[in-house]
Amino acid sequence: MLNKSVIEAVINDALSTGGDFAEVYLEDKYNTGLTMIGGKVEKGLSGRDYGVGIRIFNKNNSIYAYTNNSSKENLIKVAREAAKALSENKKDIAIDLRKSSLDNKHFIKVLPNNVEKAKKVELMRRAYNTAKNYDEVISQVTVNYMDVEKNILIANSEGLFVEDKRVRTRIAINAVASKDGEMQSGFFGPGAHMGFEFYEKINIEEYAKEAARIAKTMINADLCPSGKMPVVIENGFGGVILHEACGHGLEATSVAKGTSIFTGKIGEKVASDLVTVVDDGTIPNEWGSQNIDDEGMETRKNVLIERGVLKGYLIDKLNSRKMNMEPTGSGRRQSYKYAPTSRMTNTYICNGKSTREEIIENTEYGLYAKYMGGGSVNPSTGDFNFAVMEGYIVKNGKIEKPVRGATLIGNGRNILKEIDMVGNNLAFGQGMCGSLSGSLPVNVGQPTIRVRSITVGGRKAKK
Amino acid sequence: MDIKELVDRLFEYGKKQGFEDMEVYIHGNKKLDIKIFKGEIDKYSLADERGLSFRGIYKGKMGYSYTEKLDKDSIKTLVTDAMDNALNIDSDDEEFIFKGSKNYKEVKSFNKELENISTKEKINFVKELEKEAFALDKRVVAVDYCFYGEETVYSRIVNTKGLDLENNSNIAYSYISVVVKDGDDVKTSGKYIITNDFSKFHVKSLAKEAVDEAISMLGADSIESGEYTTILRNDVAANILEAFVPIFSAENVQKGLSLLKDKIGKEIANSNITIVDDPYMEGGIASSSFDAEGVSTKYKKVIDNGILKTYLHNLKTAKKDGVESTGNGYKGSYKSPISIAPSNMYIKKGQNSFNKIIEDIEKGILIIDVQGLHSGLNPVSGDFSLSAYGYEIEKGKIKRPINQITIAGNFFDMLKEIEVIADDLKFVLPSGNGFIGSPSLKIKKLSISGK
């Protein structure tokens, strides 16, 4: 990708104005994307992302520059241009890059680039046909397919010199149901840090059917009632509640500034006893996994909350300086266009003891959120919101009828304390998380849980 | 190799491989970002990026590819990839390369003055901005984002039908987000400015806007669930409109993904509503004389006094509908195929002052911020349920701040329930669907969920 002597020269020049750390990140990525609407392939695009990011630290401050031109002359020019932001004497730092080998935890069998596009189209067609033929109420189905093969190189003034390959693929099915001038949609988007073999592992028809079933259920659903009530959140993508309500607040980005609601709370009780939260970037082939983070540190299994007590944060290199704490392998970035910062990987609530059935049977009245949509949070106030894609009213311990159009809102300070039942059926869901260092693949996960009371934003008064 | 030579060789090789018409779209971008935290430069970023997008007709279908590595080795991959993509397209809709419009109106989107402002001046601006925020009120405990950024963008379209268009533009923006605290009560507010005229960057007014709003929210509490007369402040209304922009895309209409199908010439909004798409608007971030397919842009009313007049078209959808392209062909970047987006699109302002609208409300709610626009809102169904905050209005006056509520409704219903339009048109930070603006809107009734 780039040879050692070039990188050493670039790092040297990056440090010429007094920086105490410099890093070079090179990315060479091949993307494929296909869109099928109404059973026809409407769009096909492939291409190559290629660029280099140069980062300089001086104590707690950072400088970042990037370019698509990786010639030695240009990289030196960019490094010097970036270094101009500092004006101190050069420190005595010897650059000695030592190439390290990786312990690959994410074995790829079939590189997507070696698979004919026709095979990818065939897979999309299977998804389309299943969803479209599910019911006559399904009026349209859109299927998006993507795969990426990303080769990265990270080297820094501490001597790190490492390369990695990341392969990811995902298929997203969006079904629309129409009736009486109204439309509703259902979505499913499985993905993995895996090659094309992923599609042998999963049953695409099942996912397609689910997307169509959600759309059909929602077109026949009543409006969701408003107000505070208990909410049962199903396993898998339901973990988005944890991601928004607490995950972002545990990222060093906001902790280091002192603006997170979790700043200075290590050792304190922040959740109910039933809640243990883990962020684990090492799980083989999971969507949010990677061997190393985007600063070259091996990813880890980080316990964030243990039985309700705050144990740790997600920390990147720059914030580890600010916080005086060790980095946790959590420095991530979408591409060379972004400086890395602390981000989540696969974040989940660990299994409890209840079964899903017990949780529902024990709920007299409330909302059962079978599938969640996305959400967002303000880490400074802790206020979060997320959408329910498929919801039901629970009455007297039984699932009564589907309801549509609900959003759940609350505050991260108390929501985790309100979790009063945790199931034993942990599962993951795949999502894209947007924040300072771009849009990243993350897994959210949890078993079925119940929140004692949460504000449900619907369109109908509570009965 | 210079760009001209690369493009010539690319077309030559493409032709040899069997392509008919071909086109490249080149996009270059220089960026500067300065972030201040506690008086120091927390982050300083420089970017110089460019990319080339290739597309062409192969066996009757349009294939796309792109690269960020602009060298002669990329030529073969670009052509092979586009060919492979074309072979897999089985859409019935014809996409084609455009020979050019007769006239292109001149649009001024580059301000040379911006380049004369020194980096030092820009750094000073952000430092002063942070300082000012802290000085305004002792309850300001942190300024979590305080930055200045600017971009110079270059784009060029060249095709084998003789089209060769280029455009330069630049833009600067600044954003400040403050955290205020009173006891355990923490509130935030973020404000921004976006323009390529540096003389419009004022430290005092920007900091004050953010601090005042955050302070005004201290002590906020929820409100009884129910239906309320609701004012969506201009920026909130614009953000919601932006999220629903896909409903106007002819592509979504043709694919059965927009409820505006068969609604041309019909009343879809209250008769006081006019929505304009104006690519020539002065100071418009999305102003341009041509779109991503090289089609001359046009001023148009999408909704005129409540009546839907047109969808937004690119060449492909226009051909299918038997109309002319409205010049709304859009490419998010060189990485995207052609889609559709508005230029500078806004709800035309009304006659009433914002204060007058509040004075006329006996009991209601003013919404000043919504969250979750990417999740709590569905452009296909029109349904939305969004986390929100603002103030309770009683007897024509703002009574108290409210938060931990949601506003819910259906966009298509809401368009018919807009009773009064203010005269305070404001545009919001663009997120890819054009540059969108709205005045404050008084809605007859929206469902509020709270206590």
Percent residues over pLDDT 70 in chain B: 100
Residue B92 touches partner A, C-beta closer than 8 Å: yes
Contacts for B302-306: CB closer than 8 Å, 24+ residues apart: B302/B248, B302/B275, B302/B276, B302/B277, B302/B342, B302/B345, B303/B268, B303/B269, B303/B273, B303/B274, B303/B275, B304/B274, B305/B271, B305/B272, B305/B273, B305/B274, B306/B267, B306/B268, B306/B269, B306/B270, B306/B271, B306/B272, B306/B273
- Provide, as residue numbers in chain B, all residues whose Cβ is less than 8 Å from the Cβ of A81: 46
Percent residues over pLDDT 90 in chain A: 86
DSSP letters spanning A133-179: TT-TTEEEEEEEEEEEEEEEEEEETTSEEEEEEEEEEEEEEEEEEEE
Helix/strand/coil for A26: strand
Domains defined for chain B, CATH in brackets? 1-218 (3.30.2290.10), 226-449 (no CATH)
What pTM value is reported for the model? Answer: 0.92
Q: Of A156, A435, A165, nearest to A296 (Cα)?
A: A156
Cα-based distances in Å from A303 to A344, A450, B371: 12, 22, 29
CB A436 within 8 A of CB A253: yes
Residue B397 touches partner A, C-beta closer than 8 Å: no
Confidence label for A27 from pLDDT (cuts 50, 70 and 90): very high
Whether residue B265 has pLDDT greater than 50: yes
pLDDT at residue B448 in the model? 93
CB A392 within 8 A of CB A356: no
Q: How far apart are CA B206 and CA B189, in angstroms?
A: 11
Write out the residue limits of the CATH 3.30.2290.10 domain(s) in chain A.
112-148+167-220
Q: Of B342, B164, B166, nearest to B245 (Cα)?
A: B342
Whether residue A223 has pLDDT greater than 70: yes
Whether residue A462 has pLDDT greater than 80: no
Q: How far apart are CA A375 and CA A352, in angstroms?
A: 24
| Candidates 3.30.2290.10, 3.10.180.10, 3.40.50.300, 3.30.1300.30; CATH matching A112-148+167-220 | 3.30.2290.10
Of the candidates B88, B255, B408, which has its C-beta nearest A140's C-beta?
A: B255
Confidence label for B3 from pLDDT (cuts 50, 70 and 90): confident
Q: How far apart are CA A431 and CA A244, in angstroms?
A: 12
pLDDT at residue A374 in the model? 85
The segment with the largest mean pLDDT, out of B45-49, B230-234, B328-332, is B230-234
Do the chains contact at B372 and A376, CB–CB below 8 Å? yes
Give the mean model confidence (pLDDT) for residues B340-346.
97
Whether residue B432 has pLDDT greater than 60: yes
Helical ranges in B189-281 per DSSP H: 203-216, 234-243, 250-254
Q: How far apart are CA B324 and CA B308, in angstroms?
A: 17
Percent residues over pLDDT 90 in chain B: 90
Do the chains contact at B44 and A118, CB–CB below 8 Å? no
Backbone torsions φ then ψ of A400, nearest 5 degrees: -95, -65
Q: What is the ipTM of this complex?
A: 0.89
Give the mean model confidence (pLDDT) for residues A364-386.
90
pLDDT at residue B92 in the model? 87
* Closest CA of chain B from A450, distance in Å: 19
Strands A138-156 and A160-179: antiparallel
Whether residue A20 has pLDDT greater than 80: yes
Give the mean model confidence (pLDDT) for residues B235-244.
97
- Tens of pLDDT, residue by residue over B64-106, are 999 999 888 899 999 999 999 999 999 888 899 999 999 999 9
Q: How far is CA A252 from the centre of its chain?
A: 16
Exposure of B56 by Cβ count < 10 A (0-12 exposed, 13-18 middle, 19+ buried)?
buried
pLDDT at residue A461 in the model? 59
- Tens of pLDDT, residue by residue over A164-216, are 999 999 999 999 999 998 999 999 999 999 999 999 999 999 999 999 999 99
Q: Which two tokens stand for residue B398?
A: 């703002």
- Provide, as residue numbers in chain A, all residues whose Cβ is less than 8 Å from the Cβ of B376: 373, 375, 385-387, 407, 457
pLDDT at residue A463 in the model? 45
Would you say the C-alpha torsion A88, A92, A97, A102 has a positive or negative sign?
negative
Confidence label for B451 from pLDDT (cuts 50, 70 and 90): confident
Chosen from B385, B404, B445 to mutate, greatest number of chain A CBs within 10 A:
B385
Of the candidates B53, B69, B407, which has its C-beta nearest A50's C-beta?
A: B69
- Report the chain A residue with the minimal C-alpha distance to residue B77: A47
Do the chains contact at B44 and A117, CB–CB below 8 Å? no
Mean pLDDT of chain B: 95
Of the candidates A51, A142, A457, which has its C-beta nearest B408's C-beta?
A: A457
Confidence label for B1 from pLDDT (cuts 50, 70 and 90): low
- Provide, as residue numbers in chain B, all residues whose Cβ is less than 8 Å from the Cβ of A339: 43, 45
- Tens of pLDDT, residue by residue over B12-63, are 999 999 999 999 999 999 999 999 999 988 889 999 999 999 999 999 999 9
